[in-house]
Homo-oligomer: A and B are copies of this chain.
Amino acid sequence: MNTPRQDGFRMPGEFEPHAGCWMLFPERTDVWRGNAKPAQETFAAVATAIAQFEPVTVCASQAMWQTARDLLPDNVRVLEISSNDAWMRDCGPTFVVNDAGEVRGVDWEFNAWGGDLGGLYADWSQDNLVAHKVLDAVGAKRYKSDFVCEGGGIHVDGEGTLISTRSCLLNKNRNPDLSETEVNQLLAEYLGVDKVIWLDVEGVDETDGHIDAILAFVRPGVVLLAWTDQTHMYEYQECRDVYAQLQDVTDAKGRKLEIIKFPIADLPPTTTEEVADIVQSDDVYPREANEPVFGGYINFYIANGGIVVPQFGVETDEEAIDILTEVFPDRKVVGVPGGREISMGGGNIHCITQQQPAGKGTLR
């Protein structure tokens, strides 16, 4: 079977036109507190916000379908698709397009961010079927890859450049038998990219350093970089390290990258009260008190004509919206309260969404 590149397909930038957005519905009570109700309400608010810009489909298990249907507005579609948790960015397909406007999808291997070496839960079999089910639902041709990859580990500019982190895709808990050169080749073949920019970060978070917690493309040649001047924050040193590395690189078109500093909310760690009603389970990475909570405005979603960004109820909320409004002058920026709820689960709006590019032949 050909690769997407051989067939003339490439992964478009998130800022290119969408057919719609896919999400999952949070359910597991050993990750999400309060019987997952607060998270469900926040996910519903995110879906509702995105649905003002483009069609949204939320996928819920048999057990949760009616709950999701009752919670979501009529203009959000609810499909029954099972999962092990709720991170569509990472277990969903990566869509690719060709010049004729046809849309297809890559179905990566998914191992819950590390498999037997640091995977966040013991069973990821349902997550690993999500991409196939989504592609079947939309009628998009599927490229199955054995490469272990998550959507949150890659950002592309749609013009041949991909940015990722060595700590994630080159981690021995993902693809232990592949060299950097081999991974470059795989990404080139499956996403149609010409150059991979590898960043070195510590990658001590649960995802081993997902790029979508670090930066985001505004358009080819321009990135927003999560940044803080607060010396007590973990990201203080990391954002400087990344900034330095980005100074030295050019993209696939030979351009230097324009870097726009973008705030990170300074959030207090998880409280005893917040984690008190998370069900304890041996099958999952424990959610404990005094753990850092990522204030990731950078984990926003680009919709058709819109930006949907988490809000944390702190003073940097407004600054994040102001910068997004300035750098995306043709899009309406919408903040969704409750960002802390998603962050406590391990990600934010970008992590729980996956765009389906506009194109032909994908809707039945």
Contacts and interface: CB of A to CB of B under 8 A. Distances in A.
Interface in A340-364: 363-364
Contact of A133 (B80, B136, B363): B80
Interface string A75-94: 00111111000000000000
A26 B254 CA distance: 56
10 contacts: A57-B364, A77-B136, A77-B137, A77-B364, A78-B133, A79-B133, A79-B136, A79-B137, A80-B81, A137-B137
A129 interface: yes
B136 A62 contact: no
Most chain B beta carbons < 10 A, residue from A80, A81, A129, A364: A80
Interface string A126-157: 10010011001101000000000000000000
A203 interface: no
Given A20-B364, A69-B136, A79-B136, 19 more contacts: A55-B364, A57-B364, A61-B62, A62-B62, A65-B129, A65-B133, A69-B132, A77-B137, A77-B139, A77-B364, A78-B133, A78-B136, A79-B80, A79-B137, A80-B80, A80-B81, A80-B82, A137-B137, A363-B363
A250 B137 CA distance: 44
Interface of A: 20, 55, 57, 61-62, 65-66, 69, 77-82, 126, 129, 132-133, 136-137, 139, 363-364
**Could you say how many copies of this chain the assembly holds?**
2
Q: Which 8 A-B pairs have the closest CB atoms?
A: A62-B82, A80-B80, A80-B81, A363-B363, A77-B136, A78-B136, A80-B133, A55-B364
A256 to B, nearest CB: 41
Contacts of A80: 79-82, 133
A55 B361 CA distance: 13
Most chain B beta carbons < 10 A, residue from A126, A132, A133: A133
Nearest to A55: B364
A81 B79 CA distance: 8
Most chain B beta carbons < 10 A, residue from A62, A82, A137: A62
A301 B104 CA distance: 32
A364 B78 CA distance: 12
A133 B79 CA distance: 7
Contacts of A132: 69
Most chain B beta carbons < 10 A, residue from A65, A77, A126: A65
A66 B136 CA distance: 12
B62 A126 contact: yes
